[in-house]
Amino acid sequence: MAQTYDVLLVRHGESEANAAGRFACSLWDPHLTETGKTQAQLLAEQLKDAPIHHLVTSPLARAQETIAPLAEMLGITPAILPDLAEVDLGQWDGARLADLEAAKSGAFEAWRRDPEANPPPGGESILTVGRRVLSTLEQFVTAREPGLTVAATHSDCIKGALLVVTKAAGPAARTLFVPNCGQLLIRYLPKFHRWVMVLGPYALSH
């Protein structure tokens, strides 16, 4: 098989923002809840025997705390990649979802229909997020020996990456759900300069 690079994208565990129903990007850097910490421990147990070569993480606390138990178990120091950070929420950063829903603003309803054509005011579109995530991961993995990389990141980062890989339109983001500690395995093919999705357990993906 030609040289390839595998990345397991992992959403962080439940955060204080998730529990409070609030958006969080740069104005607030919430930590994991007790449930989130338990999810992170379960993630480490699940992946402890996987052939992991590298760990990378968003700079935000909830992602770093999610990868920490796995890093301790494997003795690998995660690399912090700023472009794995949460989608830029612009004017909605820190807002409560319930408040935005109650306000019934046209901008919020349009964003819910199509986060690509209607990003948060002053924020990022979903495909922009996906492109930056894939670009930083490509730079990271191709500078190293092939092997599985686990990347702790955020829901919209994973959705955006999937949309870019599959060449799907922005509204398709609303058909995707990434639970806390949800995972997506992607593979970079240098020969073709592209990413693909890998379906099935990692052990069966070769």
Give the residue numbers marked as catalytic: 12, 86
Place of tokens 């930083």: 136
